[in-house]
Structure 1
Amino acid sequence: MLLEGLPRVLAAIAAGALATLALPPIDFPASAFVAFPVLVWLLDGIGARQTLLRTLLADFWIGWLFGFGYFVAGLWWLGSAMLVDAAAFAVFIPFAVLGLPAVCAVYFGLSTMLARRFWSHSAFRILVLAASFGLFEWLRSFVLTGFPWNEIGVLAAPTPMLMQSVSLVGIHGISLLAVFVFAAPAVLADRHGRVPVVTLAVLIAAGHIGYGYVRLAANPTKFVDGTRVSVVQANIPQSDKFDEAAAQKIFARQIAVTEKGREARPAKPEQGTGAKIVETAPQERTLIVWAESSLPFILTERPEAIARLADMIEPGEMLIAGAPRIETLASGRERLYNSVLVIDDNGEIVDARDKVHLVPFGEYMPFGRFFESLGIMNLSQMPGGFSAGSAHDPVPIDGSPSFLPLVCYEAIFPAEIAPSIAKDRPGFLVNDTNDGWFGNTPGPYQHLRLAELSAVALGLPLIRAANTGISVVTDAYGREIDALALGATGTIESALPAAAPATPYSRLRNLPFFVLLVASFAISVSIWLFISRQLD
């Protein structure tokens, strides 16, 4: 509270960075019980300023510094993507490592600035801090296309047992409650309101743990009869993706890993012998899942590749593969999509879905014509970038539950997914991704956790195929059935987990969070007004 100048600045940045120890792959939530009390005490130490503007800036500055430390320590691995083609993109490393965190930190600065408007000497001040963080974490999820990476709520969900509350109030609700609980140690020495605030924090933490334990215990993993999945992790270096000469080699490697995985599948039961009639229809459907951009060319332009896939895909199998797709408009202009193709055992593309939520600067350039005139292209190096698909729609499959395809970081936007499954609820999620951009860094671990939280929120199993990892099959409660480590090559051969009943979040979406948010602000402002009148 008494720090000034540079020590104060460093304390705020260090506290934010410390909180990231609770993120994957370290998963040490205890660090947040130190980081957030430090933030509260730094806010307590802001003295009176001569003008309202200076007061607002002081309140904003502490939150921004805390956020800057949090996002730099949590997102430094984004610089790895710039090194895949260093000659073209290394110059942008400072923007990725420092610039994006500086922008994201604005949300934390606005959170503390708002909270300080209703700050009091009561322990209940941490409730308004929690509500403010909840509000701006929600805004961060959709403003400027949204970037809800590593929301505060993720710090409170390192295991399946601690993920289950997201099915009730969503990740924004968990963020609000997490800030309140993490900040509670800061008020242990307070004279006013300490007992009810600490008691409430303990009850919230106990409820979070207890609900997860009870939900998992009451819902053991169940599987869908007659459907298996084969998740292929070909582990192709990202640098090869830019080499057109390597396209055939990449394609051959995908097939070789797939066929080798088939050898490891459990043998099918005998269908009959002698004079007994043998059914020709397959008794089991196997879904082969390839990662994002696993087909390194436009499949419809490669008849020899279609023929090879027809040879590879056996009766009863179906391939779900990430691939670029071209659509020719009536004007003759072409649009390129980052898509998921569904290919049957005849080598026919029977369905396709296009990526809806594209990555800014990665798959398209905001103000694209201006940047391209300067010779600056998106990371995918596609002139004009990809076009966005129109909507998320489940894909029906004969003999198997339908699935909802999510390409790359689409899986971290549960609020965008929920409306698309409200009327036509699929049996599982397929997340095709390519985290090869980020090498052996925390990025792939964080991406996996965010996808798992979305799946738990919606109550759907997750089938995740990642080029270099981490590929995984989880049940509808986030329990891993099997996984392939980062950098491994191989397949996951698993039965398909069954979907859970529709969760409160999948039905109500962010409504429980908004109720929690309004109630938190109402209680905080009421207590602030009461204390202010008492002082007057």
Structure 2
Amino acid sequence: MNPTAAFVSPRPRLTLRQRLLALGLAGGWRRRLVAWGAGALGSLAMPPFGLWPVLALSFPALVILLDGTRGPPRQRLMAAAGIGWWFGFGYFVASLWWIGDALLVEADVFGWLLPFAVIAMPAGLALFTALGTVMARLLWSRSMLRVFALAFGLTGAEWLRGHVLTGFPWNTYGYAFSESLMLMQGASVVGVYGLTFFAVLLLATPALLLRPGGRGAVAAAALAAVVMAGAAAWGAHRLAVTQVGNVPGVALRVMQPNLPQDKKFAYDRRREILLNYLKLSTRPSPAYPAGLNDVSVLVWPESAFPFIYEREPWAAADVAETLPANVTLVTGAIRYDQPPEGQVSPFFNSIRVLDAHGRVLETTDKVHLVPFGEYLPLQATLERLGLEQLTRVRGGFSSGGTLQPLRVPGLPLASPLVCYEIIFPGKVIPSGPRPGVLLNLTNDAWFGKTPGPYQHFAQARLRAVEEGLPLVRAANTGISAIIDPVGRIVASLPLGDEGVVDGPLPNALETVPIAGRFAGTILAGLLLAALTLAAAPLCGCATRLS
């Protein structure tokens, strides 16, 4: 036995709090790995998982890492940018990996782009998160108010992500509450960016408990829990007292063919596809025992036809032979026409209204096209290099000018939204008279049975809550649904099922929700308040906490 062993003090064991605080001081690959892991963990808050409490681990980890940035101002900001980028990269890789599935539909043509979709795109989106953490670090202090700095920085960055370069607000943090019908009601007051602000602010507060001697940390965390509970209670109350009737005389049927993407645009099967749509649309159901004879409005999904409708006279004849006189058909369809000034493609991604004789009554064109899916930025240049968009339409699509209301016989005035047009908060209502329904036609077959279609559905559902309008959603492979103006699902069909969704059309709310009128003003107020509070310790207006 070593005679000096008795005089060597054992190494003290670190508490969990000390280990976490030490983690914040870690640098190099450890810091990057923790940031990446915290972001990836946060992706579980998004549909279809909806585990929003995991953000109470992700955001505190971000606070701890930002607490650990040291050195001159430039060094601190560079460290904050790196932390934010790795956090965002982990979050977007884990929550958007399914985008790569679209490239495997024609893997021989697009498979080589898989690294771009799965790695390069999340890397680019993470730049916004890096900007958010830099903005937060500029306002950082040892005060408990630093959680307001984080809420200001990340919410501002998420708003920018939803607007810069046509915008891509997919999976902004507020959608963490989209799987909870009670918490979702907050979107009617503050909108999804307001929900993002409160998600960051409230779920980052557990980090305050880790600083030894922090005055009021327990009270702050308790207050955050009370606010969350209060939001849920208010949401439950709103659901209980908001009873909406149905629009008289409207009997809806949404047809979901579940047609695989590699079969959907097969021109040589065009008549087979149309006849299958018509056969599926006529089937009887418990709601409509007489099938289409009980229906007033039939809705088909985006780009239903693998042909130009006007160029195939037999198509109108088949529609006229099948539809009863009382039925109006609303369908997605590719349209051919003279391109607008400044655009070159004669093709449009449209919604068309057909009467029982197969005649086109109304048409509206998609305004917000999908980059790389429906058009290429610098289209002519990239086409010369051999690139093409996923739809493989030479020259891409042209876009409609502005969102226009759609008049459908038998329906209230409709706001027509093709595919991901519905994910843009505050941009789903055309100017003029308020519509009575959101009409969303989409094709999520590109993404198979991945989280993508669930996330798309959740975002569409949240638009109904923000605007106080019912939603009718027709998706090729699902999820198709009829949703009331507070987000309750009246009827739906799961992802990957073939069938029809039948039901009445709920009324719109008589009063437009606060978010539907003032979401931008409310967000500006929240960011200004957060900026003021976060900056207070820096200018001696609040007591610093050691």
TM-score range, shorter chain: over 0.9
Change (3 A) 1:348 1:62: same
**Residues 533, 202 of structure 1: alpha-carbon distance in 2 compared, 3 angstrom cutoff:** closer
The letter for the 2-side match of 1:360 is: P
- State the match for 2:328 in structure 1: 318
- Which residue of 2 is the match for residue 266 of structure 1? 288
Sort the Cα spacing of 1:62 and 1:135 in 2 relative to 1 into closer, same or farther, 3 A. Answer: same
Give the conservation status (yes or no) of the 8 Å contact 2:415–2:437.
yes
Choose which of 162, 166, 173 in structure 2 pairs with 1:141.
162
Q: Which amino acid aligns with 1:21?
A: L
Q: How does 1:243-254 map to 2 (within 5 A)?
A: 243-254=266-277
Tell me whether 1:55 sits opposite 2:66 in the alignment: no
State the shift of 1:195 in Å: 4.9
Contact 1:343/1:349, CA 8 A, preserved across alignment: yes
Matches within 5 A, 1:81-230: 81-190=102-211, 191-195=214-218, 197-230=220-253
What is the alpha-carbon distance in structure 2 between the residues aligned to residue 266 and residue 252 of structure 1? 20
Which residue pairs with 1:485 in the alignment? 494
Question: What residue is the counterpart of 2:86 in the other structure?
Answer: 65
Residues 321, 342 of structure 1: 8 Å contact kept = yes
Q: Number of paired residues? A: 517
* Corresponding residue SS for 2:236: helix
Specify the SS of the correspondent of 1:225: coil
- Listed one character per residue, the Cα deviations across residues 352-408 of structure 1 (whole Å, up to 9, x for unaligned) are 110010000000000111110011100000111011111112222344312111100
Corresponding residue of 1:425: 434
Residues 461 and 473, structure 1, Cα contact 8 Å, conserved in 2: yes
Among residues 504, 511, 517, which one is paired with 2:521 in the alignment? 511
Which residue of structure 2 lines up, in the alignment, with residue 529 of structure 1?
539
CA contact (8 A) 2:288 2:295 kept: no
| 2:452 corresponds to 1:443 | yes
- Further displaced range: 337-346 or 192-201: 192-201
Q: What whole-Å deviation, never above 9, does each CA across 1:209-235 have from its counterpart, x for those lacking one?
A: 122111101112421111011000001
Instruction: Indicate conservation of the 8 Å contact 2:347/2:398, yes or no.
Output: yes
Partners of 1:322 and 1:339 within 8 A in 2: yes
SS where residue 375 of structure 2 aligns? coil
Q: Which residue of 1 aligns with 2:254?
A: 231
Partner of residue 465 from structure 1, selected from 471, 474, 488: 474
Q: Tell me whether 197-206 or 333-342 shows the greater mean CA deviation.
A: 197-206
**TM-score normalised according to structure 1 size:** 0.92
Q: Secondary structure at the match of 1:380?
A: coil
What secondary structure does 2:474 align onto?
A: strand
In 1, Cα distance between equivalents of 2:347 and 2:375: 11
| 2:419 paired residue number | 408
Q: What secondary structure does 2:517 align onto? A: helix
Structure 1 residue identity aligned to 2:443: N
Letter in 2 for 1:266: Y
Tell me the CA shift for residue 253 of structure 1. 1.5
1:231–1:288 contact (8 Å) kept in structure 2: yes
Deviation for aligned residue 1:527 = 2.9
Change (3 A) 1:199 1:333: closer
Cα distance in 1 for partners of 2:164, 2:152 equals 18
2:216 & 2:447 partners in 1: Cα distance? 46
Give the superposition deviation at 1:40: 0.7
- 1:294 is paired with a residue whose SS is coil
- Contact map agreement 1:363 1:386 (CA 8 A) in 2: yes
Q: Return the offset for 1:530.
A: 1.6
Q: CA deviation at 1:128?
A: 1.0
Q: Contact 1:226 / 1:283 at 8 angstroms: preserved in 2?
A: no
What code does the residue aligned with 1:9 have?
R
Could you tell me how far apart the structure 2 residues matched to 1:158 and 1:263 are? Answer: 29
Local SS of the residue matching 2:416: strand
**Residues 48-105 of structure 1: per-residue CA shift (max 9 Å, x gap):** 14xx433321110001100000000000001100000001100000010011100111
Runs of at least 5 residues in structure 2 that lack an aligned partner in the other structure: 1-23
Distance verdict in 2 for CA 1:398–1:290, change over 3 Å: closer
Query: Cα 1:307–1:333, aligned 2, differ >3 Å: closer, same or farther?
Result: farther
Cα distance change on mapping 1:312 and 1:454 into 2, 3 Å: same
What residue is the counterpart of 1:275 in the other structure? none
Aligned to 1:276: none
Cα distance in 2 for residues equivalent to 1:23 and 1:12? 18
* Structure 1 residue aligned with 2:21: none
8 Å Cα contact 1:43-1:59 kept in structure 2: yes
Matching residue's letter, 2:56? F
| Counterpart Cα distance in 1 of 2:190 and 2:62 | 25
Partner letter of residue 491 of structure 2?
D
Please tell me the residue identity of whatever aligns with 2:464: A
Matches of 1:333 and 1:307, distance apart in 2: 32
Q: Quote how far apart the aligned CAs of 1:336 are.
A: 1.0
Q: How far is the alpha carbon of 1:334 from its aligned partner?
A: 6.0
Q: Normalised by the size of structure 2, how large is the TM-score? A: 0.91
Give the partner amino acid of 1:73. A
Task: Judge conservation of contact 1:226–1:285 (CA < 8 Å) in 2.
Answer: no
Matching residue's letter, 1:214: H
CA-CA distance at 1:264 after TM superposition: 4.7
Q: Distance in 2 between matches of 1:283 and 1:230?
A: 11
Q: Shift of residue 534 of structure 1?
A: 7.0
Secondary structure of the equivalent of 1:509? Answer: helix
Task: Indicate the structure with greater strand content.
Answer: 1
Which amino acid counterpart does residue 108 of structure 1 have in structure 2? T
In structure 1, the residue matched to 2:365 is 354
- Give CA-to-partner distance per residue, 1:452-495, whole Å, 9 cap, x none: 11111011111111101111111111111111111100001111
Q: Which amino acid aligns with 2:239?
A: L
Q: Does structure 2 conserve the Cα–Cα contact (< 8 Å) formed by 1:325 and 1:337?
A: yes
Match of 2:356 among 345, 359, 372: 345
2:173 & 2:485 partners in 1: Cα distance?
22
Secondary structure of the 1:57 match is helix
Shift of 1:284: 7.7
Among 78, 88, 95, which residue is 1:74 paired with?
95
Tell me, what secondary structure is at the counterpart of 1:400?
A: coil
Kindly indicate whether the alpha-carbon contact (under 8 Å) linking 1:292 and 1:323 is maintained by their aligned counterparts in 2: yes
* Secondary structure in 1 matching 2:387: coil
What CA distance in whole angstroms lies between the structure 2 residues aligned with 1:4 and 1:329? 55
The separation in 2 between residues aligned to 1:482 and 1:7, in whole angstroms, is 48
CA distance in 2, matches of 1:404, 1:2: 51
What are the Cα deviations for residues 479-518 of structure 1, in whole angstroms up to 9, with x where unaligned? Answer: 1111111110000111111111311122223111111111
The answer to whether the 8 A contact 1:177-1:204 is kept is no
SS state at 1:465 partner: strand
Q: Does 1:37 align with 2:60?
A: yes
Percent of pairs with identical residues: 40
Counterparts of 2:31 and 2:410, CA distance in 1: 62
